[in-house]
A and B are shown apart, each in its own frame.
Chain A
Amino acid sequence: MKLEGRKIYKGTAEAEAIVTREGISFYGGVDPDTGKVVEVGHELEGQTITGKVLVFPTGKGSTVGSYTMYRMKKNNTAPVAIVNEQIDTIVAVGCIISEIPCVDKINISNIKNGQKIIVNGSEGIVEVK
């Protein structure tokens, strides 16, 4: 299944999807050293997003979150791509400075946890295998 969205940051990545219906705050909500979601009570609390395609509705929280994403990239704990319903500035800027392929305007209910997906950030397309 091919889902057409909007390109946010270029590049292609293929990996397992980790999906949540809740917003993600990279600053304070994700541990950049382990790649684990640490926000108390979050649907993904305790799960690692490293090496996966992180699928969530939109970002939230402090603008410092962009730097957290950059730090994750440098630490090799970052997700390989990001898919959003509606991008926010923190995640958009984070993807640009960290060079993480990113697409938004995707109906994320079409993507199930654990599915293999390909994100083409240059074309704005997400393919569910």
Chain B
Amino acid sequence: MNLEPEEKDMLDGKYGKSAKKSMEILTTLGEIFDAECMVEIYSVQIAGVSYANLGEAGLEFLNEMAEDGKVRVLTTLNPAGMDRENWQALGIEEEFAKNQNRAIDTFAKMGIITTCSCTPYLIGNAPHYGQHIAWAESSAVCYSNSVIGARTNREGGPSALAAALTGKTPKYGYHLDENRHGQVLVKVHAPVKGTDEFGVLGKIIGDKLVELGKKIPYITGIPSATVEELKSFCASVATYGGTALFHMEGITPEHNRYPKPGDIVFEINQNDLEKTRAELIDADIEIDFVSIGCPHASIHEIAELASLLDGKKVNKEFWITTARPTKRIADEVGYSKIIEDAGAKFAADTCCVVAPIKGRFKGIMVDSAKACYYGRAKNKFKVKIGTIEKCVEEAIK
């Protein structure tokens, strides 16, 4: 790899121990993927925040990096294993809370903004079109590449941290035009509406891409989509297909930038949507948990929930998972009071995927196809997908 003088100095240890280790990680990845050089990045999103995933070993590594490491670019965090203010009410054990806070404090020591959210693009870590970034969190990677048109590979926890501490990432993969072309033409012949249905669509496309061994779909037939629908779609297609980038005709900014694929065509009709939706509903489910906000709920979704829950009472555990800054807006506007008066709980900073709730519930109802996947695989719940309205109906039944 061709390194700039400053990058060489980092590798030689002139910028300290953690910059050296970081540059070792980045140059090795660069060599593996044939990067010619590094590229300067605008921002970083770090995953591997939950203590349940990090463990003592991960924490020890972070502490080592925090001895002399300071981030050089805007850096935010993925969800943690708990709500940092409300963890007791959500049934999190004190020992876990203590360890989770140790991890977050270590990130803070490095100058990382400790907003623990999978939707950094909604709360100030907002790159613009064409900017290079180094993000972890598969749904946010997919959103930034596709919906924003920024450029990132799918980073892991350590490689994202290394990018943050150096301000650089090796220039390969999705940073280069030639790797951003659509590979499969996906024609949608049915109306798609709502976060749940966009999640279903994401699963259909993701599953098909895995079968085809392809990564980048070019989707037609979607006349409009909201930010919330797109974030749900991103989470789903990334979960089921490992997709980091898609193009959607008339919607995403790069849909006209590269030649439209035509060799492999895949069609989706109403039947496919119904069939796949059925795969996300366990027949013998007994619902005792409802969770909205995978990816983290926007203020728009919280407004909708407030209106649906106004004057009602929930009879099941009901979580709204969101970013702390979004929760603060909901507090200010008065949505939080309406929602909490109805008996629903905010779980900020965390989500139903990363919180340590394995086995605590029997069946979960969600509006997210990603949450269905992890609800089954990680937490051993039965799952059911439905619209936000249906989720609220179930909770107040």
Contact = CB atoms under 8 A, between A and B. Distances in A.
Contacts of A8: 28, 32
A72 B47 CA distance: 21
A71 B56 contact: yes
Interface residues of A, number: 22
Interface string B32-73: 100000000000000110000111111011000000000000
B21 A64 contact: no
A121 to B, nearest CB: 11
Interface stretch (A15-23, A85-93, A111-119): A85-93
Interface residues of B, number: 22
SS class, residues of chain A in contact with chain B:
helix
B53 A70 contact: no
Interface stretch (B156-164, B264-272, B275-283): B156-164
A70 B31 CA distance: 22
Given A70-B60, A93-B25, A97-B21, A63 B32 contact: no
A67 B25 contact: no
A96 B156 CA distance: 14
Interface string B211-247: 0000000000000000000000000000000000000
A90 B156 contact: yes
B55 A89 contact: no
Interface in A12-33: 32
Contacts of B159: 89, 93
Contacts of A70: 57-58, 60-61
Contact of B29 (A62, A68, A89): A89
A70 B29 CA distance: 18
Given A64-B58, A67-B157, A96 B47 contact: no
SS class, residues of chain B in contact with chain A:
helix
Contact of A63 (B24, B31, B47, B56): B47
Contacts of B25: 93, 96-97
A129 interface: no
Interface in A27-83: 32, 62-64, 66-68, 70-72, 74-75
Contacts of A32: 55, 57
A67 B55 contact: yes
Contacts of A62: 53
B136 interface: yes
Nearest first, the 3 A-B pairs at minimum CB distance are: A71-B57, A63-B156, A67-B58
Interface of B: 21, 24-25, 28-29, 31-32, 47-48, 53-58, 60-61, 136, 156-159
Interface of A: 6, 8-9, 32, 62-64, 66-68, 70-72, 74-75, 87, 89-90, 92-93, 96-97
13 contacts: A8-B32, A64-B54, A66-B157, A67-B57, A70-B60, A71-B55, A74-B60, A75-B57, A87-B32, A89-B32, A93-B28, A93-B158, A97-B158
